[in-house]
Amino acid sequence: MEKKFYISTSIPYVNAPGHIGHALEFVQADVLARFHRNRGEDVFFLTGTDEHGAKIVKAASQQNLPPKLFVDGIVEKFQELAQVLNISNDDFLRTTDQKRHWPAVEAVWKQLQEKGDLYEKEYEGLYCVGCEAFITSKDLADGKCKIHGTEPEHIKERNWFFRLSKYESQIREALEKDVLRIVPETRKREMLSFIADGLQDVSFSRPRKDLAWGIPVPGDDTQTVYVWADALVNYISALGYPQGENFKKYWPADIHVVGKDILRFHATIWPGILFALGLPLPHAIFVHGFINVGGKKMSKSLGNVVDPLRLVEQYGADALRYFLLREIPSAEDGDFTEGKFQERYNADLAAGLGNLAARVLKMAQNAGIEAVQHAVESADIKGLIEKTQKEVEEALSGFRFNAALESIWEVIHSCDRLIEQERPWEESAGQKGTITALLSALSALGEILSPFLPETSERLAEQLKAGSGESLFPRKSA
Ligand code: MSP
């Protein structure tokens, strides 16, 4: 039987359309999904949207729309984003889906309750709507949330609590022993030190009178399920938990891809829930950093939110995929400016890959070489391709997308050097051999690139078959 591979992105809040940070997460997960599919694995790639909670209610009311109408509009935009970026997700789960998602959340709730892991408590504390989380003074600077720069709400209410503290040592052990592997290592250490301070029980519901937009707590319609207790369950509700065939087939997840700000939920609450349910933990969490814009945090209030749809329209999906994967250090923060984007585009794509393909095809045409041989004929090229394939595999096993692309670009540089050395545009004894070798290199490049730049990979294959084609990446000027 084929090996299964289950990968997910986080599910974005639909308070606003997706930005380049969301695009980054989509693209990183997509590369892994495509890479594993190319290896013949049975891949299930899930994404979706997180549609409940106070943040959504607030955004909907600012537009004078009822929440459902509001989220429907934004969800469409996320789906469009996934589509234009050629994200190969197998499923898209919406947490407002009452047929697929709600029954799973209700089932989980009941199981936690039967286990004695839920209890009622009067809670007094701070809540940050931006984080959708109960926070403490440690999370504040000048009385404001360190992440969102907004004042938290003071809350005093009766909630259901989840006994996360009960699972503290099990969770710590799972992280320490890499049963649940957290990549990069620095993030794993960060989580272990967070856990070392002690895991507190977490509020798992909000009073319905204050927040009606969400899933009612089973058996207590005065309360709404806390948005994270609702959202995390998407990873199993989409598989049809508890009885679904896909659940049996694909759980546990191989990789959850998430941003650094939500690792805590995935590395503590989620394993806590899974331990309580008696389910195996996901194998790995890959944590990416944040994209800033011109050195500043992207935010609506600063008006510097970069719209990925516009970039795709202007430069093409693969240009944006390439920039996100290559320029943004895979597991750290990175920076976007239109200047940097254009620079990468012109240097690596237009003058690099695009120019190489055009030159080689032209030389082949002039030398009367028609179709490309599929087998790599030159020993040098064969060695180089095999080495690159290994490097790509190794880079991806450590989620180093940028390193993988660097290796692939070495092939492009080698081909460029070969052309300068051998001057195959001039007639010579070795001319045809060199051009054929270059054609095979291009063909191999197309294949290696397919998880990263799927559209380019296809176009390149077509051009190699046809012997010519339009420029893959026309130069762009500022
Ligand atoms: N709804 C929750 C996730 C629930 S998962 C069960 C959420 N949504 S979010 O829209 O705020 O964020 C979605 C993802 O986008 C997160 O992984 C987050 O880290 C990522 N990013 C949000 N802003 C980002 C950047 N500026 N840069 C890169 N990724 C960023 O959290």
User: Does residue 256's CB lie within 6 angstroms of at least one atom of ligand 1?
Assistant: no
- Give nearest CA residue, ligand 1 atom 17: 259
- Mind listing the pLDDT tens digit for each residue in 55-107? 999 999 999 999 999 999 999 999 999 999 999 999 999 999 999 999 999 99
What pLDDT does residue 300 have?
Answer: 79
- Give the whole-angstrom CA distance, residue 278 versus residue 252: 12
Report the separation in Å between the CA atom of 125 and the middle of ligand 1, taken as the mean of its atom positions: 24
Cis peptide before 12 (omega within 30 of 0): no
Q: Which of 52, 128, 188, 415 is catalytic?
A: 128
Q: What is the pTM of this model?
A: 0.97
* Catalytic one of 36, 52, 131, 415: 131
pLDDT of 370: 72
pLDDT of res. 371 = 63
Residue with CA at minimum distance from ligand 1 atom 10: 12
Question: Catalytic residue at 415?
Answer: no
Question: From the CA of 334, how far away is ligand 1's center (Å)?
Answer: 15
132 ligand 1 Cβ < 6 A: no
Tokens representing 331 are: 């597991």
Residue 25 Cβ contacting ligand 1 at under 6 Å: yes
Residue with tokens 């009385």: 143
Q: Does 19 have pLDDT greater than 90? A: yes
Which positions ≥6 away from 338 have C-beta within 8 Å?
A: none
242 cis-preceded (ω within 30 degrees of 0)? yes
The C-alpha atoms of residue 466 and residue 361 are separated, in whole angstroms, by 10
Report pLDDT for 90.
98
Compute the average pLDDT of residues 219-233.
97
How far is Cα 410 from Cα 396, in angstroms, rounded to an integer? 17
Q: Tens digit of pLDDT for each residue in 399-430? A: 999 999 999 999 999 999 999 999 999 999 99
Average pLDDT over the chain reads 95
Any atom of ligand 1 within 6 Å of the Cβ of 293: no
Q: How far is the CA of 475 from the centre of ligand 1 (A)?
A: 33
Q: What 3-state class would DSSP assign to 342?
A: helix
The whole-number average pLDDT for the span 465-477 is: 92
SS3 78: helix
- Is the pLDDT at 380 greater than 90? The verdict is no
Residues 6+ apart with CB under 8 A from 1: none
Tokens of 303: 């008006």
Q: Where are the beta strands (DSSP E) in 314-451?
A: 334-336
**pLDDT band (50, 70, 90) for residue 373:** low
Nearest CA to ligand 1 atom 18: 259
Atom 19 of ligand 1, nearest CA residue: 259
| Burial of 48: CB neighbours in 10 Å, binned 0-12, 13-18, 19+ | buried
Give the per-residue pLDDT at 478. 65
Q: Could you please report the per-residue DSSP string of 158-217?
A: EEEEE-GGGGHHHHHHHHHTTSSEEESHHHHHHHHHHHHT-PPPEE-EEETTT--SSPEE
Q: Residues 328-366: pLDDT tens digits? A: 999 999 999 999 999 999 999 999 999 999 999 999 999
| 263 C-beta closer than 6 A to ligand 1 | no
With a 6 Å cutoff on the Cβ, whether 194 touches ligand 1 is: no
Decide: 48 in ligand 1 pocket, CB within 6 A.
no
| pLDDT band, residue 372 (cuts 50/70/90) | low
Distance 40 CA to ligand 1 centre (A): 30
Q: Is 19 tagged catalytic?
A: yes
174: confidence class by pLDDT, cuts 50, 70, 90: very high
Output the CA 261–ligand 1 centroid distance in Å.
7
Mean pLDDT for the stretch of residues 131-145: 92
Residue 368 identity (one-letter amino acid)? G
For residue 217, is pLDDT > 70? yes
pLDDT value, residue 302: 82
9, 47, 50: which to mutate for ligand 1, most atoms within 8 A of CB? 50
Distance CA 348, CA 412 (A): 9
* Cβ pair 38, 451 in contact under 8 A: yes
